Each structure stands twice: as structure tokens, then as C-alpha cells.
């Protein structure tokens, strides 16, 4: 009986010990759970706070955004209104300018030197006949520029300065990129020029450098200024690819003919009336000089002082023996024709136009008049622009 009791006792004791042990475990777990619950509570509280703060932030940023949006739309409305007003002012200015009487300096022609400065002996009979014809066509030509008809911006190619023009006797277009170089570029037509992307066209390499924007093309001949120890005008046959004549120019210095385009010492224009040269003479000469040259022999036939100042001039073009000088300011604003000179003294001041070109990109590097189309090929800060002109008959006095 005794061993049975002992066994029973120890079983009871063991049961008792296990119970104690479980109790302790349970207590421990309960404490842990309570602690975790506490933590969770804290986290929850924090999360709620964050949430509230985020909501607050959101509300505030929305308010700020709305404020900004309002300010922005108010500003843009203001800007639009200002632009509209500016536009109106511009248009009014155009109107006033176009109605203002011209301050032309079309005065008595100063015939400084008459007839043949160089190589007088060489003049052949047939050339004299040519000159007779040319001379009469100057007087026959009775057109005067009255206003700007339209403006067309074609494209932007090449550097900020350059020249583009069309041979009035063919459809060919020539591009002179920059202010000097030994290469020019040719297109078959304005259409080809338009569709050629950034390409400058078919290159033509000359035997010497052209310099400045004083270039002209007429009937397949290129006329350009070659700058060396002396200034030369070169006549180049574009079909044969050779120089046909060279002449020294009557310039004593590298003074620019147009003060706003210092690279251009002399400017050339050629049309049915002949070859015209606009130049500075020398540094102290305040006015633009004009010379008429024989387009074949390059002999100078006559020289005038145009009385048009070089200061602030940008470019000039010649229509029917009348020089139109375009002026601007050093910080390019709006170009305007402000001085007119008629070699035949026929244009009276009241007739002479004074008009502004529309606001542009930069400043005109060149203005090349095409008598055939009555439009100017202009190069404005790398943009190629066409200005179509309105002309009227001169009042013959």
C-alpha cells in the first residue's frame, strides 16, 4: 500500500507544480499583451495625429495653390490686356507714321564729279551706246516707293548676318551666309530655297573672298566687294565660273557705309539702270556717297553726295534712280526709311515716303531690292523675310 500512496502523492504534487507554472506563464503573456496594447494605443494615437496634421497640411496647400492660381490667372489676364493695348498702340503708331509728312532729305543732287573717273580712254563706242540707252531708261523710269504692301517671313537659315537675293533676270536665288567668305550658295528658285530645310543650297566657290553685305546679282553676273589693301569690286560670271572684271573702288578707308552694319564698307545694287555703288568715302565723311558704274566695264560714270547721313543707317536700296536709306538704332528697334535721294532731282520731298518696317527679330543685315518683283529680300537675325513694296508714279515736275 505504501508505494501506491507515494506515487499518488507525487502525481498530485506534480499536477500542482504544473498548474503554478501555467499560471505564471499566463500572467506573463497577459502582461506582454497589455504592454503591446498600450503601445498600439500610443501608435494609434500618433497615427491619428499624423492624419489630422496631413489633412491640415493638405487643406493649407490647397488654399495656397488656389491663391497662386488666382494670382496667376489675374497676372495672365493683365498681361493679355497689356499685349492687346501694346498692339493697339503699335497699330496707331503705324497709322500716325504712315500719315506723317516725310522728312526726306531729297535735295539738290550734288554732282561732285561728272563722267568717267577711271579708264576714260578705254571706253568703246558700243559701250557708249549702252550708256546712252541706260541713261534714257533712268529718266523713263517713273516709279517711286509709296508704302509697304506686305511682309512674308520665309524661314531661318544660316548665321545671324547674311544676304539672300534673287537674280531679277532668272529665277535663281543666291545665299551669302555670314559677312564674308569665298563660297556662295545657289538655289534654282525661291521654291527650292523654301523646301531645302537647313541646307544652304548648291555651293559655288569663288576665286577670292566676298566681304560685307554689298553684293549684287544680275543676269547671271555676281558683283561683290573684295577687301584687300585696296577695295575692289569684282564682276564674276556665274555661268562660266570666272572673274570677268575687277576695279578699284574710290574708298580711302574701311569706314562702313551704314554705321549699324560695320562689315559693309560698300554696297552694290544692279538693275536695268546700271550698277550703283553706295560707299562712305572715308572716316570723316558723314554722308553716304553714290556712284553710278558701267555694269560691264565697271567704270565710274558719275558720283553724288546723297546728303543722307551714315550715322544709324542700316541699309539702303535703289528704285528708279532713287536711293532709300533705312535707319534704325543701335539697340535694334523699328527700321524706317528716313532719307531719300533722287539722282534726277525729280522726287519732291512731299512725295517721298517715310515708313516704318514692322517690328522684327533683330536688325537688318541686308535689304536687296528686286526690281522685277518689286520686293525686298531681307536678312533679319537669320530670318529670311520678303517685303513687298507699293509703288506709284513720280509727279514729274
Ligand X SMILES: *[C@@H]1O[C@H](CO)[C@@H](O)[C@H](O)[C@H]1NC(C)=O
**What DSSP character marks residue 360?**
-
Of the candidate residues 110, 116, 153, 178, the single one contacting ligand X (CB under 6 A): 178
Q: Exposed e or buried b for every residue in 324-363, given b needs 16+ CB within 10 A? A: bbbbbeeebebbbbbbbbbbeebbeeebbbbbbbeebeeb
Binding mask of the shown chain, residues 62 to 81, with x at each position contacting ligand X by CB under 6 A: ---xx--x---x--------
Distance CA 244, CA 223 (A): 10
Residue 189 Cβ, how far from ligand X at the closest point, in Å? Answer: 19
E strand or H helix at 300, and its extent? strand 300-309
Nearest residue (CB) to ligand X, 175 versus 347: 175
358: left (phi over 0), alpha (psi -120 to 50) or beta: beta
CB contact at 8 A, 233 and 276: no
Site for ligand X in 364-393 (CB under 6 A): none
Q: Which helix (H) or strand (E) holds 43?
A: helix 2-99
Q: Which is nearer to ligand X, 66 or 97 (CB)?
A: 66
Q: Site mask, ligand X, residues 180-199, x = CB under 6 A?
A: ------------------x-
Burial (CB < 10 A; 0-12, 13-18, 19+), residue 151, is middle
Nearer to ligand X, 80 or 242 (CB): 80
- Of 150, 182, 192, 157, nearest in space to 379 by CA: 157
Nearer to ligand X, 177 or 306 (CB): 177
CA distance 257 to 269: 14
Counted residue by residue, the chain has a size of 397
Query: How far apart are CB 266 and ligand X at their closest, in Å?
Result: 21
Can residue 214 be called a binding residue for ligand X (CB under 6 A)?
no
Three-state secondary-structure class, residue 20: helix
3-state secondary structure of 239: coil
CB of 69 to ligand X, least distance (A): 4
Q: Rounded to the nearest whole angstrom, what is the least distance from the CB of residue 179 to ligand X in the complex?
A: 8
Q: How many residues bind ligand X (CB under 6 A)?
A: 10
Q: How far is the CB of 70 from ligand X (least distance, A)?
A: 8
Tell the smallest beta-carbon distance from residue 211 to ligand X (Å): 13
- What is the DSSP secondary structure assignment for residue 196, as one 8-state letter? T
Shortest reach from residue 185's CB to ligand X, in Å: 8
Distance of closest approach, residue 75 Cβ to ligand X, in angstroms: 12
- Which region, judged by CB under 6 A, interacts with ligand X, from 34-42, 61-69, 76-84, 273-281? 61-69
x-or-dash pattern for ligand X, window 9-48, by CB under 6 A? Answer: ----------------------------------------
Selected from 102, 106, 148, 158, the binder of ligand X by CB under 6 A is 158
Q: What DSSP element (H or E) covers 230?
A: none
- The residue within the footprint of ligand X, chosen from 134, 141, 190, 200 (CB under 6 A), is 200
Q: How far is the CB of 82 from ligand X (least distance, A)?
A: 19
| Shorter beta-carbon distance to ligand X: residue 23 or 69 | 69
Between 177 and 328, CB nearer to ligand X: 177
> d(Cα 260, Cα 237) in Å, to the nearest integer?
31
Sheet strands side by side (includes 242-248): 216-218, 221-227, 231-237, 242-248
Tell me if 250 sits within 8 A of 117, measured CB to CB: yes
Residue 42 or 79: the one with the smaller Cβ distance to ligand X is 79
Interface residue list for ligand X (CB under 6 A): 65-66, 69, 73, 158-159, 177-178, 198, 200
Amino acid at each position: 500500500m505504501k508505494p501506491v500512496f507515494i506515487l499518488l502523492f507525487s502525481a498530485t504534487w506534480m499536477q500542482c507544480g504544473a498548474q503554478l507554472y501555467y499560471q505564471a506563464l499566463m500572467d506573463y503573456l497577459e502582461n506582454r499583451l497589455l504592454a503591446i496594447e498600450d503601445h498600439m494605443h500610443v501608435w494609434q494615437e500618433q497615427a491619428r495625429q499624423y492624419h489630422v496634421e496631413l489633412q491640415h497640411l493638405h487643406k493649407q496647400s490647397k488654399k495656397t495653390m488656389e491663391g497662386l492660381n488666382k494670382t496667376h490667372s489675374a497676372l495672365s489676364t493683365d498681361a493679355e490686356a497689356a499685349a492687346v493695348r501694346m498692339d493697339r498702340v503699335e497699330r496707331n503708331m503705324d497709322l500716325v507714321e504712315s500719315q506723317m509728312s516725310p522728312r526726306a532729305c531729297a535735295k539738290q543732287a550734288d554732282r561732285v564729279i561728272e563722267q568717267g573717273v577711271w579708264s576714260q580712254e578705254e571706253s568703246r563706242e558700243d559701250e557708249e551706246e549702252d550708256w546712252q540707252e541706260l541713261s534714257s531708261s533712268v529718266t523713263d523710269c517713273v516709279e517711286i516707293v509709296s508704302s509697304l504692301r506686305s511682309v512674308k517671313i520665309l524661314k531661318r537659315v544660316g548665321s545671324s548676318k547674311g544676304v539672300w537675293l534673287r537674280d531679277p533676270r532668272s529665277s535663281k536665288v543666291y545665299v551669302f551666309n555670314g559677312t564674308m567668305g569665298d563660297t556662295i550658295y545657289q538655289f534654282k528658285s525661291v521654291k527650292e530655297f523654301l523646301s531645302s530645310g537647313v541646307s544652304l543650297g548648291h555651293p559655288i566657290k569663288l576665286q577670292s573672298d566676298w566681304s560685307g553685305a554689298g553684293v549684287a546679282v544680275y543676269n547671271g553676273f555676281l558683283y561683290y566687294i573684295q577687301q584687300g589693301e585696296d577695295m575692289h569690286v569684282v564682276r564674276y560670271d556665274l555661268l562660266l565660273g570666272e572673274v570677268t572684271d575687277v576695279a578699284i573702288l574710290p574708298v580711302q578707308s574701311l569706314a562702313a557705309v551704314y554705321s549699324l552694319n560695320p562689315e559693309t564698307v560698300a554696297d552694290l545694287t544692279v538693275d536695268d539702270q546700271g550698277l550703283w555703288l553706295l560707299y562712305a568715302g572715308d572716316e570723316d565723311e558723314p554722308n553716304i556717297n553714290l556712284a553710278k558704274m558701267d555694269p560691264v566695264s565697271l567704270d565710274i560714270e558719275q558720283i553724288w553726295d546723297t546728303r543722307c547721313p551714315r550715322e544709324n543707317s542700316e541699309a539702303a536700296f535703289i528704285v528708279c534712280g532713287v536711293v532709300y536709306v533705312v535707319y534704325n538704332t543701335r539697340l535694334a528697334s523699328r527700321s524706317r526709311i528716313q532719307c531719300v535721294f533722287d539722282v534726277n532731282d525729280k522726287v519732291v520731298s512731299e512725295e517721298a515716303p517715310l515708313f516704318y518696317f514692322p517690328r522684327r527679330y533683330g536688325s537688318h543685315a541686308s535689304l536687296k531690292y528686286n526690281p522685277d518683283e518689286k520686293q525686298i529680300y531681307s536678312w533679319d537675325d537669320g530670318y529670311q523675310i520678303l517685303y513687298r513694296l507699293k509703288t506709284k508714279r513720280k509727279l514729274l515736275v
